[in-house]
Structures are given as structure tokens and as C-alpha cells.
Structure 1
């Protein structure tokens, strides 16, 4: 095992869990998971990270073993980022490198917006860049002109009460649908962990709130077209993703002062399908203590 069992801490914003791994005296790297996963999503890629890194992997609110909170307002990505910042403050982590996948990649961007002076490098994986309004609009136009079948789960979870009423007791079916892996299967231990997590009471509602809060998120991001990331950044893209389409990368270079894109032959959960390859790209980019 690379990551520790979940540890618990309380902050002014709530009670959260996190996992830790690597070199206790290494350069801090904060790794933020997406949906429907937890901090465990970094277990396999972490085994291939180079020495000299201290991994801090939070469980976002409503997922992993962090608190389940009612109300979609707690699940805007800006609010989730403030949760992460409160955890890092409690842990005494000042400057760090930042990695995020899926919704965790959005939360990572919100963290970098909130405390830019503390983020030294940023890696984003298979999710939209929130200030790339041109590229994101091209995705919307492509989806509207074709099939929206791949996005059914987002609409399902946005409907009031459906996730809460239909997922409990079927967690293995629910999780299994998403984490099959486009190129290689996701490790069985990871799948079992996400089924366990989704079986915790309140998780279907909390997970759905990530999507129910999206309209509030989108209003916020619509004002970010003039923002340009100054932090050195890397985008690692699993090219078999059916939801995060290649058009999300259009115009990405206009959003950063320094950005490199690396493509991996994998689906959405690339760090679990191809952990050694993904870790290799991370190792070439991250700085050690």
C-alpha cells in the first residue's frame, strides 16, 4: 500500500478525511480526486512516483470518508476548494504542487484561484479548464449536434430524489457502470473501495450534488474568460474518454502562460488504467524537496 488509511481532522468548515504517502519530509503534492471516487484513486499511481514527494490526498466533502452534508450549496467547486484549503491550513501545508482529476481537477483550479501564491505547479487530468470558454463552448456545440447518451448520468443525478431513491442497495451496479476502464480494467481493490464508500448513508445525495451545483459553477466560470494561469501547468489526457472530448483541449494554450499536454492511451480514469505511464509524466514535471 502506498497511501495510509484515512485520517480524520476537523476544520472550521467541517470534518474531513485524507490519506498520506511518500516521503514525510518531501515536497508536498496535493492530489484531489473526482467523482465517483475518493482519495484512494491515487493509490496505484502513487506507487510509481519518484522519491522526494509527500502526497496529501483529501477526501472531498460527501465522498470518501469525509462528512456528508445536505444542501447543494456546499458542493459548488469553489466551496469544495475552500474545504481543501481549510484542511491544508490545519495540516500546516503552506506551499505545494497540485494535481486534480475529473471534478477534482476543477476543485484544483478553484484552489489555485483562491490561493495562487501557495501553488507552485499544477497538473489537470481529464476535465475542462474553467477559463477556456471558447473550447468549452465548442464541446457544448458538438454534443448538441450529436448524441448525448454518454451524459445521461449527469441529468439523472440532477433530478430531485432519483439518486437517493434508486442507488441504495445497488452500489456495485452503479459504480461498476462507470469504472470499467476503456483500455485496461480499474484495479479490483479500487472498485471495492468506491462501492464501500457509496454504501455510506447520504453518499448518493452528496454525489448527486456535485452535478446539481453545476449551474451555479457555470455562472461563476462565465466571468473567467480573461483569466490566464501563471502557474506552470501540465494537462494529462486519457484519449479514450467518452465524456471529456478532445475539443476540451482546443484553445488551451491561450489559458496558460506555460502549459504542456501529454496524451495517454486510456479512458477517463487514466491514473488507474495506466498508473505507471501517468506517474512517469508526473515525475517529469513535479519538483522534489
Structure 2
């Protein structure tokens, strides 16, 4: 991806400003890319050039709490319904009535939720190493091994302490979490420095952790509607945090879903296998 091909601006929503990176032709099919924890729009750097070059109009926001976007205070600001509403409001602000939607990690949870509760807006859905929020509770009760993998999210529920641990010594722990959960060499020092600059912004890590806190504490629809849009799930099988069964469980909530596995990739599949991921996304999003 060449940085000059990416256009940056802020978009005003209802009481919130999101930083937005854009690429691709203005008249191309609108396609929103949603990053996860602890990234920002830069997490799609390997995808932006190829996807834009294929003719897609890319809208790549820093989601609320991240990067250069606003960081509202309080857990209610990070309820899953609000995160989904941001996506729809962003599409409205950019003149996109219907759009293609791609999400990784937390961005995948939000993308699944948007497709479930706003089916009239999502033309096609692609999710990378993320589960549908409606399946996690039942899956966790049936698969105690996933509880062990999710222990870090329990630590995130503690007030203030996780922020201090994650950001101490120039965010050395957050750097190590990204580096150790990926294949060797996936995240180099220069890339981690760029992430660390975003984590160091005032209130950034608290806002990022409030996504986890809100998901655990705030009620939401118990039985979300199934996803009716054509759906592609891309899954790195060596994900240290999420069992592969979550992909299968999520697929069961998709009326027209398909699962593509990457046996040698981790949670960071779009960084580790960018060419294969880009090919899969371009073929699917243009179908």
C-alpha cells in the first residue's frame, strides 16, 4: 500500500467525530473495513492498495475510542449497539445506502452485529478471526477450554490496573502481546512503534478496554436475527485467543455463509497471508 493513495479526513456523526482513511474510486462499491484491538485504520495496510485497486471504494475508520477518532467516556458509549450504529451513520455520511462490510477481531464482532440488526444495509459481509456476538456465551459454556483462552478479557474488567500494565515502558506489554500472538516477523519494530504512538494518546487504552468491559456488563439482544447477507469467514487456525469452533458456530448464524480456513495463520491472518486474504476478499466482494 502506498500512503499517498490514502485520503484522510474526519467525519461528523451524531455527537461523534470519526477519523476516516479512504481509498479507491469514488464511484466504486462502498466497502467499510473495521479494525480490531489494539489496531487502528493502519491494521488494513496490506489490504487497502489491492482492494482499492480492484475498484472498491474503501472507507476505513478509526473506530470510536481508537486512533484519531473521538473517545467518549463511560461504558454506555461502547455498547455493541452504538458501535454498530457508528457504522451505519458513517455509511450515511458518506452517501452509501448499501455497503460491503469487512471486519477483523473486534471489527468482526461489530460487522456481524451490523449485518444482523441492519440487514437492509449490508450487501456482503466478510469477517476475519472474529465470532458473532450471539454465539459466544453458549459456546463458552460448552467449551471450557475457550474460557482459558479468554482469561485476558477477564483481566481487562479490572479498573485502571490493565491500563497501567499495558502502557508501562512505552507499551512494552502491548507490543509483546501482538508480537507473541503472531508468526515471527509479522510485526516489526517500526510497525509496533506506530501502534504505540496511538496507544499513548490520552485516554486511548481506557477507551479500547471499555469495548471489552461494555460487552461483558451491558445487556443486548439475546437472540439476534441471523445474517442474511452472503458471508465469508476467513479464519487463521493458529489463533491463540479464539478456538476454531467459534468460526463454525458463527457460520451457523449465517443463512448464506462460507468458511475459509488458513491452517498456518494465527489471529493476524490479514498480516501473515495478505496475498491469499486479498484474493479471497476481492473475489468475494466483487461477486
Q: What TM-score does the superposition give when structure 2 sets the normalisation length?
A: 0.89
Alignment of 1:39-78 (within 5 A): 39-49=41-51, 50-78=53-81
For 1:104, the equivalent position in structure 2 comes to: 107
Q: Displacement of 1:263 after TM fit?
A: 1.1
Q: Is the aligned partner of 1:170 residue 2:169?
A: yes
**Alignment CA distance shift 1:193-1:139 (3 Å):** farther
Bigger RCO of structures 1 and 2 (CA < 8 A, at least 6 apart): 1
> What does residue 246 of structure 2 align with?
248
Q: Is the 8 A contact 1:135 1:252 kept in 2?
A: no
User: How far off is 1:175 after superposition?
Assistant: 2.6
Task: Return closer, same or farther for 1:163/1:142 CA change in 2, 3 Å cut-off.
Answer: closer
8 A Cα contact 1:139 1:247, kept in partner: no
- Structure 1, residues 104-146: CA drift from partner, whole Å, max 9, x if none? 11111222234211210000111112333686246643335xx
Q: Which moved more, 1:183-192 or 1:157-166?
A: 183-192
Q: Given the alignment of the two structures, is residue 202 of structure 1 paired with residue 180 of structure 2, yes or no?
A: no
8 Å Cα contact 1:184/1:266 also seen in 2: no
Partner of 1:29: 31
- Where does 1:116-155 land on structure 2 (aligned, <5 Å)? 116-132=119-135, 136-137=139-140, 140-144=143-147, 148=148, 150-155=149-154
- Tell me the CA shift for residue 211 of structure 1: 1.1
Matched, 1:222 2:225: no
**C-alpha distance 96-212 of structure 1, shift in aligned 2 (>3 A):** same
Cα offset for 1:101? 0.6
Question: Is the 2:124–2:285 Cα contact (8 Å) retained in structure 1?
Answer: yes
Deviation track 1:158-199 (CA, whole Å, cap 9, x = no partner) reads 101113334444343133122215335334354232111101
Confirm or deny that 1:231 pairs with 2:229.
Answer: yes
Alignment root-mean-square deviation, CA: 2.2
User: How many pairs were matched up?
Assistant: 281
Does structure 1 residue 83 correspond to structure 2 residue 86? yes
